[in-house]
Amino acid sequence: MSNQQYLTLDRTNDKMPIIGFGCWKVEENVEETVYTAIKNGYRLIDGAAVYENEVGVGKGINRAISEGIVKREDLFVVSKLWNTYHNKAHVRAAMDRTLKDLNLDYVDLYIIHFPVPCQYVDPKEQYPGPWTIDGKMKIEKSPMHELWAEMEKLVDAGLARNIGISNFNCQIIMDLLTYAKYKPATLQIELHPYLQQRELVKWVKEQGLQVTAYSSFGPSSYVKLTKDAKTVTPLFEHDMIKSIADKHKKTPAQVLLRWAIDQEIAVIPKSMSSDRMKSNIDVFDFKLDEKDHADIKKLDENLRFNSLFAYGIPVPLFN
Ligand code: NAD
């Protein structure tokens, strides 16, 4: 089993595992998959209300705890506030629903999933609420400073040990830092060799936030969702990544994860296969060398796969 490494979070000094298990698109056998991930050594579980699997995720976590594989305090459980609950009237209820679904008393990190306040829809009608209503995205009038104050209350209530953000750009983070009582512990962003985001990562770290990369394998996660992901060379098949992998006697997937970890960026790969789970976390016995890093740097194309346009929503969130 791997020797885990950690990133230390500001304020709480909590140790966040540098590699975790991603739960997006874990649609079948959710309990078994999460339980297997924990058995295979994963200690961070990255979930979200919008993945529509928190009940199963919670069952997997609680099974691992009840079988004595881990204690709750050994795990770092992450969830995300969905867009339709940004209004200050709905944040606590969204947290409560997630904790009820997970069957846990607290999460280690609760993240604002997108800086996009979508119109509230009563969870009794639809949970979680949609991106669009009648084909249009309707904005809920809930300013970020009000939302952040509600997130801070979740910390004070002991429901979230840390709070963080995802898909935020520099401008909105800069504004948030002017009023935050508890600054965000982490920023979670799409990050892989085709989208390296070097300036954002550097600046965010200087502000004392840790960075988590999502979709470390680049297009592989988006083949069914976007045209770009189908046309670009898959990173697993890229000659440069393959030759670096051969040199270190590792797989391309391990190289892609190690590339981020070498930069002290956390990763959260998703896989349904136990063998891949094991190999994805087996990345602590090697490092990329300077040449590897210099070569991979050249692959940056600012190529983003998780854009709202991919979901048919014409909002230029990252411009
Ligand atoms: P990923 O980069 O982890 O790739 C997953 C794909 O790669 C799957 O198709 C899987 O079968 C395949 N794969 C996994 N291991 C492999 C291996 N060793 N060899 C070959 N193929 C392999 O994709 P992701 O799920 O998009 O991202 C990881 C996690 O990040 C998500 O599960 C989720 O938790 C999080 N995420 C967050 C956001 C956000 O907006 N905050 C967005 C996307 C993802």
**Residue 212 is part of which domain span?**
6-305
Which of 40, 194, 211, 270 to mutate for ligand 1's pocket (most ligand atoms within 8 Å of CB)? 270
Assigned domain for 43 exists: yes
* pLDDT of the residue at 2: 56
Report the b/e string of 97-107 with b at 16+ CB within 10 A: bbbebbebebb
Number of domains in the chain: 1
Please, what is the angle between helix 144-156 and helix 170-179, to 10°? Answer: 60
* pLDDT of the residue at 105: 98
- Closest ligand 1 atom to residue 269 Cα is 3
Which of 221, 255, 265, 308 to mutate for ligand 1's pocket (most ligand atoms within 8 Å of CB)? 221
Assigned domain for 1 exists: no
pLDDT in tens, 296-316: 999 999 999 999 988 888 899
Assigned domain for 230 exists: yes
Assigned domain for 144 exists: yes
Assigned domain for 167 exists: yes
Assigned domain for 313 exists: no
* Distance from C-alpha of 103 to C-alpha of 284, rounded to nearest angstrom: 32
CATH number, domain containing residue 104: 3.20.20.100
Average pLDDT over residues 115-124: 97
Assigned domain for 298 exists: yes
* Whether this model's pTM surpasses 0.95: yes
